[in-house]
A and B are shown apart, each in its own frame.
Chain A
């Protein structure tokens, strides 16, 4: 059953999009990421204009994140205060990122920066996560005691002013690192068209050293805020949100997210991180591959007139 999308101005297969939405929603609920880094490239591959894909995908991510955050908050696994601080940074970053992206598009280098960002961030983060989690899985298999938890958090976390108590995460740290992290993720999400969960999750685990139990829910909570804002901004400034496309995706997405959130309780945290790391690494390598392969056609149409 094909459907013509009013904003994207292309015809798409509706059941296929619902199924894709469900699959990405499932992954989103399972790992506590938005799933934008998977969905945006797929939508572009299906022929949807990149600007519309990025904007409508933000809407889908918001929907599946709400669905799974409610599931996580019932398990009291969301640090709303930390999420709020991260989101504050994310909002600032999103505004900055939109301007940076506009400039890059004018220079015709948006494609390059997107490919490099995917390769660099997904590749490095995916690789590190995979290595770390495989190491701890192996250690457990061999029956060794888990590596002594390096509870000594980096000193700079404590040396900075503006300390705030985060009871849920059992942290008493400056708000500066989470805000800077939020800004960084906000800029990247505007450029790459993603929610930024794949950066937030590892950053919360390895940098802020939050307890693993609250990381996923908190990341999703901050993603809801930034993607909702991105969605409204994109619709208001660029008219690039396709409500039909977003609805198709989120119908599947919200259901998939529920199953994902349930499944996540059945896995160990390091197993989940190993899977997520592998997924992130593969997507990063695939996107980056284009930089090194001789293109089919030496010329390419560049989006964004004017």
Chain B
């Protein structure tokens, strides 16, 4: 009596231990902990990739060029699509998990972020092909793009962690990712992808907010909602402090 069961569908499930990161005056960075499980009765070899990206921040990049012995900035190029924070964590290096085209399609990994310089692009007809997107930066375009990633990595805002996701038990995985103090405030997306045989078979999306809290938040709101009063208040503090010090020192 054979029952025709549908083939088991592998699925991934995940959760963040905390969905809100509060930035207060003592903020020293935070750890984002992601737990999850892979459901696959067939127990095929699985790989998990966790992509955490912060709010988008346009980037202005210039190239240093030497003119008459002096290093000058070139005209700045604006890149869009770059998240303010990005970590790609996985159970093994991404290029061992899936092919270039699969990763490119998913925008998975530092090499596959959808960063572009739209102001430098124009659409034209080339080699008889219509609507070709051509960048004014020409062949150097890749150097520029790589520089964006490199500078962000140096600032600790972009990272690739090829062993950042670990299986702690059968089907149960855990990823612990560091959020530095320089990480931007805003809404973060965490995308958890299950790969089997080089194909993404299941995807889960989770969100995380990083926001200021307590005194930090009040000061920030004060500075942005009542900027002129804030300015006057800060000058008043400065002038009073200067006056107070001179009074104290006169007595002593």
Contacts and interface: CB of A to CB of B under 8 A. Distances in A.
Interface of A: 2-4, 6-7, 9-11, 47, 59-60, 62-67, 69-71, 74, 107-109, 111-112, 224, 228, 231-237, 239, 241, 243-244, 246-247, 250-251, 254-255, 257-258, 290-295, 297-306
A111 B239 CA distance: 31
A239 B222 CA distance: 10
Contact of A297 (B24, B147, B216, B233): B147
B243 A7 contact: no
Given A298-B64, A302-B76, A67 B242 contact: yes
B73 interface: yes
Contacts of A299: 61-64, 143-144, 147-148, 150-151
Contact of B245 (A6, A239, A255): A255
Contact of A6 (B75, B144, B212): B212
A233 B61 contact: no
B246 interface: yes
B138 interface: no
Contacts of A67: 241-243, 245-246
B41 interface: no
A217 to B, nearest CB: 13
A66 B215 CA distance: 28
Given A67-B242, A71-B246, A306-B58, 11 more contacts: A2-B26, A4-B24, A6-B25, A7-B220, A63-B242, A231-B231, A235-B228, A243-B223, A298-B64, A299-B151, A301-B60
Nearest to A70: B246
B28 A62 contact: no
A71 B243 CA distance: 10
A243 B71 contact: no
B62 A6 contact: no
B30 to A, nearest CB: 11
Contacts of B76: 108, 302
B238 A63 contact: yes
A236 B181 contact: no
Contacts of B23: 4
Among B24, B64, B185, B231, max chain A CB count under 10 A is at B231
A63 B185 contact: no
Contacts, number: 189
B147 A64 contact: no
Contacts of B227: 235-237, 239
B64 A66 contact: no
A208 B46 CA distance: 80
A283 B150 CA distance: 30
Nearest 9 Cβ contacts at the A-B interface: A66-B242, A235-B231, A254-B245, A299-B147, A108-B76, A63-B238, A232-B231, A70-B246, A67-B242
B133 interface: no
Contacts of B78: 305
B33 interface: no
30 contacts: A4-B216, A9-B184, A11-B27, A11-B29, A11-B181, A60-B238, A62-B238, A62-B239, A65-B242, A66-B238, A71-B246, A108-B62, A108-B73, A108-B74, A232-B231, A235-B227, A235-B234, A239-B223, A241-B234, A243-B223, A244-B25, A254-B242, A291-B70, A295-B64, A297-B150, A298-B63, A298-B147, A299-B144, A302-B76, A305-B60
B219 A6 contact: yes
B239 A228 contact: yes
B74 to A, nearest CB: 8
A59 B243 contact: no
B223 A241 contact: yes
Nearest to B236: A228
A186 B144 CA distance: 37
A108 B61 CA distance: 9
Interface in B1-47: 23-29
Contacts of B150: 297, 299
Nearest to A288: B70
Nearest to A106: B76
A66 B24 contact: no
Contacts of A70: 242-243, 246
Given A4-B216, A6-B212, A6-B216, A59 B242 contact: no
A189 to B, nearest CB: 16
Given A235-B227, A254-B242, A257-B245, A291 B71 contact: yes
A239 B231 CA distance: 8
A38 B168 CA distance: 52
B237 interface: yes
A292 B75 CA distance: 19
A64 B241 CA distance: 8
A243 B237 contact: yes
Given A295-B71, A299-B62, A299-B63, A4 B26 contact: yes
Interface in B123-176: 143-144, 147-148, 150-151, 154
B63 to A, nearest CB: 5
A246 B185 CA distance: 22
